[in-house]
Structures are given as structure tokens and as C-alpha cells.
């Protein structure tokens, strides 16, 4: 497969050892999954990507940063497991082989402070420092919607190695995504590519093609609307269906091939 220059930063980073900056010293690569809009599939894609990387033999953490609607762990497992409180922080539970942490696990007592917004960045940093991930190959960040202060603070705090943009082909989602891409440029966060979700449902093909040209990023994969997704409790349950397994694993491998160049 031909090399895609837009994927270079991550490819190079395979030579990297652990991060040197606080608060994530034990994590090798941080991949952020975001959009600008809510309800477009960020969590679905974050969980799918986490499972795909785990299948490839990597140690994976999934950090649900969407305090408006924390739900990564729900999509991953029906088990209700919470982090273990230890003297120096919170140890994330292992669900389906993935270490899962959610801001909501740590926020219950302090939510009102966080929601006031003024202390948000500081509190986010403080809480993040208390997560005891242990050594991880990949940390996937399931970002909240929006491009406001919280989003900017998160990019500053984590300095992701790459960003995966999730959007539907609808013009409203594309408009929000354009704003997100401008911010990524400004913040120098590498945009790895776009996941087009519910690709068959709405939006004009031309609008999406124009969008890709405008942002100069590759299409990583197209995830059609999957009726079963709402019927099944979790994504692993959906993947246990042979037919879906083929489809979703194919898509997940598509991401891996395009981004990580394993093959
Ligand atoms: N490809 C898809 N097919 C069917 N339902 C989907 C698909 N992608 C997302 N959904 C559903 O849409 C809703 C929003 O998805 P979610 O991943 O939570 O979005 P976000 O994290 O961007 O808010 C969820 O109920 C999810 O199950
Ligand atoms: Mg979400």
C-alpha cells in the first residue's frame, strides 16, 4: 500500500518509547476520537477502535472524557465495574480486555464544580493525573462534543499523537467538523483521517467529497447504519454475530491498515 504522508507522525512514533510529559508517562500513543458534534458516533468508533487494537495484541486504554454523556463502558460491556480506589489514585477496571476509565467515575462528588466550567481545565488535569493506567500501548480518548474551552484544554493536556474525526455526511455535522479541523491545525494535532458514520443514511455524496478535499484528509472508513446496534446491548455482542463480525472487523482492520501500516 502506498504511503500516505498525512499518517507520517504516527508511523514515526512507533519508534518512540513512553511519553515523557506528565500526566501520562506510561502511555506510548494517544489517539483522540472527536467530531465537534454530539451523537455522530464518537463513542461507537472509540470502542470499535479499542477492540480492534486489542485484537492486534496491543494493550489498550479507553478514556471516556464525555462528561455530558459518559457511555463508553456501556457500549463495551454490561458489567458495572468501577475503578479501584488506591492511595495514589484510581485503577481502571478491565472490560473485554480494555482498561476503561471515565471522568464520570471520578466526578460524582465534585460534578457541580466541574460543570461550573471555571475550574474545568485544572480539575481535568488533576483527575487525569490520578488515573493509574499502568503501561499502555494505546490510549483512546473518547472526546466530548463541541469545540469550546473544554475541548481545547483536552488537546493541550493530552497532546494526542493523532486525531480521528467522526462525522455523518450531513451538512450540519460537516460544518461542525470544519471548525474542529481548524482547531486541530492551530493546535498542531495531526488529523489522521475521517470516519464517515451512518454513511448510507443522510447527506449528499458531493458535500462529503468536497469536505474531504477541503480538509485534505483521507477517509479511514465508512460505517453504515447498523440496525442491530440498537438491539444489541454491547458492541462485543454485536461482533459475536458472524456476519457483523466480518463487516465490523473489516472496517476496524481498514483503520489499522490506513493508520498504523501493520501490513
Ligand atoms: N453506524 C451506526 N449504526 C447504528 N447506530 C449507530 C451507529 N453509530 C452510532 N449509532 C448510535 O447513535 C447513537 C450515538 O452514537 P454515539 O457513538 O454515542 O455518538 P457520540 O459519542 O458521537 O455522541 C448511539 O445510540 C449509537 O448506538
Ligand atoms: Mg459519546
Give the atom of ligand 1 at the shortest distance from the alpha carbon of 142.
Answer: 21
Give me the residues paired with residue 195 across strands.
166, 221
Confidence of residue 158 (pLDDT cuts 50, 70, 90): very high
Q: What is the mean pLDDT of residues 258-262?
A: 59
Confidence of residue 126 (pLDDT cuts 50, 70, 90): confident
Confidence of residue 36 (pLDDT cuts 50, 70, 90): confident
205 pLDDT higher than 60: yes
3-state SS string over the chain?
CCCCHHHHHHHHHHHCCCCCCCCCCCEEEEEEEECCCCCCCHHHHHHHHHHHHHHCCCCEEEEECCCCCCCHHHHHCCCCCCCEEECCEEECCEECCEEEEEHHHHHCCCHHHHHHCCCHHHHHHHHHHCECCCCEEEEEEECCCCCCHHHHHHHHHHCCCEEEEEECCCHHHHHHHHHHHHHHHHHCCCEEEEEEECCCCCCCHHHHHHHHHHHCCCEEEEECCCHHHHHCCCHHHHHCCHHHHHHHHHHHHHHHHHHHCCC
Pick 251 or 181 by higher pLDDT: 181
Determine the distance separating the centroid of ligand 1 and the alpha carbon of 40, expressed in angstroms.
6
The pocket around ligand 1, CB under 6 angstroms, is made up of 35, 38-44, 197-198, 223, 225-226, 229-230
The count of domains in the chain is: 1
Q: Return the pLDDT at 162.
A: 87
Q: Return the pLDDT at 253.
A: 72
Mutate to test the pocket of ligand 1, among 38, 41, 102, 238 (most ligand atoms within 8 A of CB): 41
Greatest mean pLDDT among 68-72, 98-102, 221-225, 246-250: 98-102
256 pLDDT higher than 80: no
Nearest ligand to the C-alpha atom of residue 196: 1
Give the atom of ligand 1 at the shortest distance from the alpha carbon of 35.
Answer: 22
Mutate to test the pocket of ligand 1, among 35, 229, 247, 250 (most ligand atoms within 8 A of CB): 229
Q: What average pLDDT is seen over the chain? A: 82
- Cα–Cα distance measured from residue 179 to residue 242, given in angstroms and rounded to the nearest whole number: 38
Q: What is the mean pLDDT of residues 111-128?
A: 71
Those residues whose beta carbon sits under 5 angstroms from the ion ligand 2 are 42-43, 66
Q: Return the pLDDT at 175.
A: 92
For atom 16 of ligand 1, the residue with the nearest CA is: 41
Residue 32, domain extent: 5-260
263 pLDDT higher than 50: no
Give the atom of ligand 1 at the shortest distance from the alpha carbon of 69.
Answer: 23
Give residue-wise pLDDT tens across range 1-15: 344 444 444 455 444
Which domain CATH number covers 88?
3.40.50.300
Amino acid at each position: 500500500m502506498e504511503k500516505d504522508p498525512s499518517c507520517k507522525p504516527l508511523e514515526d512514533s512507533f519508534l518512540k518509547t513512553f511519553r515523557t510529559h506528565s500526566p501520562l508517562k506510561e502511555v506510548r500513543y494517544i489517539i483522540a476520537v472527536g467530531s465537534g458534534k454530539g451523537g455522530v458516533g464518537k463513542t461507537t468508533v472509540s470502542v470499535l477502535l479499542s477492540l480492534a487494537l486489542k485484537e492486534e495484541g496491543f494493550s489498550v486504554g479507553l478514556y471516556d472524557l464525555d462528561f455530558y454523556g459518559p457511555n463508553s463502558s456501556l457500549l463495551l460491556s454490561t458489567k458495572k465495574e468501577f475503578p479501584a480506589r488506591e492511595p495514589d489514585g484510581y485503577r481502571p477496571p478491565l472490560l473485554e480486555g480494555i482498561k476503561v476509565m471515565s471522568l464520570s467515575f471520578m466526578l460524582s462528588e465534585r460534578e457541580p464544580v466541574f460543570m461550573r466550567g471555571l475550574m474545568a481545565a485544572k480539575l481535568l488535569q488533576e483527575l487525569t493525573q490520578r488515573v493509574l493506567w499502568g503501561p499502555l500501548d494505546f490510549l483512546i480518548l473518547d472526546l466530548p462534543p463541541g469545540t469550546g474551552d473544554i475541548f481545547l484544554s483536552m488537546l493541550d493536556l493530552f497532546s494526542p499523537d493523532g486525531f480521528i474525526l467522526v462525522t455523518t455526511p450531513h451538512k450540519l455535522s460537516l460544518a461542525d467538523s470544519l471548525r474542529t479541523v481548524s482547531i486541530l491545525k492551530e493546535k498542531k494535532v495531526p488529523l489522521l483521517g475521517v470516519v464517515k458514520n451512518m454513511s448510507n443514511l443522510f447527506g449528499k455524496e458531493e458535500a462529503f467529497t468536497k469536505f474531504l478535499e477541503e480538509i485534505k484528509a483521507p477517509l479511514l472508513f465508512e460505517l453504515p447504519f447498523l440496525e442491530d446496534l440498537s438491539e444489541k446491548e454491547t458492541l462485543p455482542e454485536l461482533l459475536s454475530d458472524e456476519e457483523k463480525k466480518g463487516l465490523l472487523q473489516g472496517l476496524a482492520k481498514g483503520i489499522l491498515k490506513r493508520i498504523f501500516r501493520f501490513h
